[in-house]
Every structure is written in C-alpha cells, then in structure tokens.
Amino acid sequence: MEILKNNERSQIKSRTGVEYYKVSPGVWGMKIVFVNIYIVASDTGQDGSWVLIDAGLKGSADRIIKMAEDIFGKGARPSSIILTHGHFDHVGAVKELLKVWTVPVYAHYLELPYLKGISSYPPPDPMVGGGLMSLLSFTFPKKASDLGVRVRRIAANGIVPDLPDWQLIHTPGHSPGQIALFRESDRTLISADAFVTTKQESVFSVMTQKHVLSGPPKYFTIDWDAAKSSVQKLLALNPLVAASGHGYPMYGEELSLSLNYLVNNFEKEAVPKYGRYVKEPARANKNGVQYVPKRVNNPELIAATAIIAALTAIAIIYRLNGRKPIKNQLSVSYLAKKILNPVKAILQPS
C-alpha cells in the first residue's frame, strides 16, 4: 500500500457540500466540529456493504447520511454501527440515525451500562490543565445514553461484526470499554481516543487541528495505568495508518516515531500533573461505575483562572465607566463575583 504523507490527506467535497477525507483503502473519515466519525467498507467495498464507526455530536446525523450517500449512493445504509465508546461526542447522533437506519449497534460489554441508561460516566475533570477544553469539561455531558435493545454486546474474541478483515482491541483507560479497530493487511488502525492526533485539551489545537500525536483526552480519562497499557498494546501492532477520535490521520514514519515517543514518555507527555484520576482510578464493571475518587484541585490552574477572571472584571468595569478610574469598589466586587462564578462551578464537588 502506498503510504500517504500527512499533508497529502485526500479531502473530498460531496455534491451536497459535506466535506470528508480518505484515510486508506475503503476507509473514510469526517470531522464533526472537534470529533471524528469513520465509514469503513467491508472487504474494501466489493460487495457494497459498510459500517459506521461512531456517531459524532448530537445533530450531525444529516451530515453523516450525506457522506454515506456520496460514497455508496442514494439510500445507502450501513450493515451496523460500531461505537468505540459511549462518550457524548461519539454517540451524539445515534438515536437520530436509528430513525433512518434499522441496523444493530455494537459496543464492548463494559460500555453497555452507559449506552442502556444504567450508569453515568465518572465526572470529567477540569483540573487536568492543558487548555480551555479541559477547563470547560465540567459542562460536558456524562449522563448515560439509552439505546435500549438496539445496542448489542460486541464479541470479545477479536472479530469485528460485518468487518471480517478487522480485529477488535480492547483499549480501556479513557473509558472502561473503549475499543480500537485494526486491519492487518495494510496496518490501518482506528484508535478511538486511546491516543489522538491533536491536543484535545486546547481550544487552539482543536480549532486549528494542529497535528501532534497525544495521549487520550485528559479531562475524560479515568484510569491512567490502563490508558498507558492500551497505547503500548497499539504500538505493538506497528500501525502504518492511525485514524483517531480527534485530529486528522497520521501515517508512516511520523506515526511510528510519535507513537514510540508517546509510549516511552507517557507519564511526562500524557498524564496530567494534577487530576482526580491521576493517583487513583475510577472503578467500573459490567454494571457501570462503582467508585469515583475525590476531586483534586490544581492550585496552579485555580490561581491562573482567578487572575484572568479578576483582570477581565477590572477591564469590563473600566470600559463601562468610560475608561475613568474605578471608584465604586462595590461594582468591582459585584462584577468580579459574576465572572468568577465559572471558577466556583469548577471547584464544586461532583
């Protein structure tokens, strides 16, 4: 197989204006705001069957359907939907899609509690640092989806439903039942969020899709020892193509060097200095979350956030006062408290 360079990613614009890209033979991806979905043809599409991997954000069903019809023709529908895990940004459009497609949905059995309305995920952790996405993560949904009987347990024997050429790899850490998919014939890996190819904690990186291989998104990762083991497991596959849950695909030598570096420097590059799950993981089983450690504050982040909020308050008051010296200390206090409310929300125990 000819290996693409990262700047040779094949961007495609459909007849309806939806943009997506070619990852490798029979594999296409689409970025939906800050998360990726993938369409994978069975046996490189010779029989016309295909599978949807993940379902992006809520409200994105129309885009996914248009992408599928651009590739496979009007009325195209998948053999199944496979969910790498159940976080809100990977399952958002599932219910919308199931109104159009009567197909099974598969997930690892340790994800089923979060897809059948049984258990919420452990709370995301805004104390991990790295950027505004982390800081705002306390607002991200953690409540379970309820797909009822539509979601099924995926076999644990490594066989991927409707994709006989692909292997299933359990990659816990970011979530209990996260899975990756690997095709040995051309060493294409769909890594989900076991590792990603942008700094997902940073709004700047998310907006620009800055290309850099990183550990799993820090704010949602609940077991760092398991997360490291999962990345080591994926490195052992020696992938030539990696399509992750966030960021554009990475190829060839850059992928190999970056993945080796991440594994060898995981504690430094991936694990946050502070965080709820750094010293102690959340614990979960087939029934869902069983234990969540206590919140851990990040004093560096709190101090920086408080300073920024205070300076913002002063700047607003200065502008409201016509750029005159601030005399009304009550106004300063009042507005400062208003702007510091998000900081207080972050610090509230979950």
Q: What is the mean pLDDT of the chain?
A: 87
- How far is the C-alpha of 8 from the C-alpha of 337, rounded, in Å? 49
**Domain boundaries in the chain?**
6-291, 299-347
Angle between helices 252-264 and 224-235 (to 10 degrees): 140
Stretch 226-254: mean pLDDT, rounded? Answer: 97
* Partner residues linked to 166 by β-bridges: 183
Q: Can you say whether the dihedral through the CA atoms of 216, 218, 223, 228 is positive or negative?
A: positive
* 2 pLDDT above the threshold of 70: no
pLDDT digits (tens, 9 = 90+) for 31-86: 999 999 999 998 755 567 999 999 999 999 999 999 999 999 999 999 999 999 99
* 25 pLDDT above the threshold of 90: yes
Q: How long a stretch of residues is the chain?
A: 350
* 319 pLDDT above the threshold of 90: no
How far apart, in Å, are the Cα atoms of 87 and each of 48, 99, 213?
29, 20, 21
* 333 pLDDT above the threshold of 60: no
Closest CA to 79 of 107, 46, 102: 102
Q: In this predicted structure, which of 137-146, 151-160, 304-313 has the lowest mean pLDDT?
A: 304-313
* 336 pLDDT above the threshold of 70: no
pLDDT digits (tens, 9 = 90+) for 109-137: 999 999 999 999 999 999 998 888 888 88
**Structure confidence at residue 247 (pLDDT):** 96
**Structure confidence at residue 106 (pLDDT):** 97
For residue 128, the 8-state DSSP code is G
- Are the C-beta atoms of residues 173 and 115 closer than 8 Å to each other? no
Give me 223's structure tokens: 């077991």
Contacts of 349 (CB under 8 A, 6+ apart): 294, 295
Closest CA to 228 of 263, 196, 269: 263
Give me 287's structure tokens: 């029934």
Give the Cα-Cα-Cα angle 36, 38, 42 (nearest 5 degrees): 170
Q: 6-291 maps to which CATH number?
A: 3.60.15.10
pLDDT digits (tens, 9 = 90+) for 184-220: 999 999 999 999 999 888 887 777 788 999 999 999 9
**Structure confidence at residue 207 (pLDDT):** 78
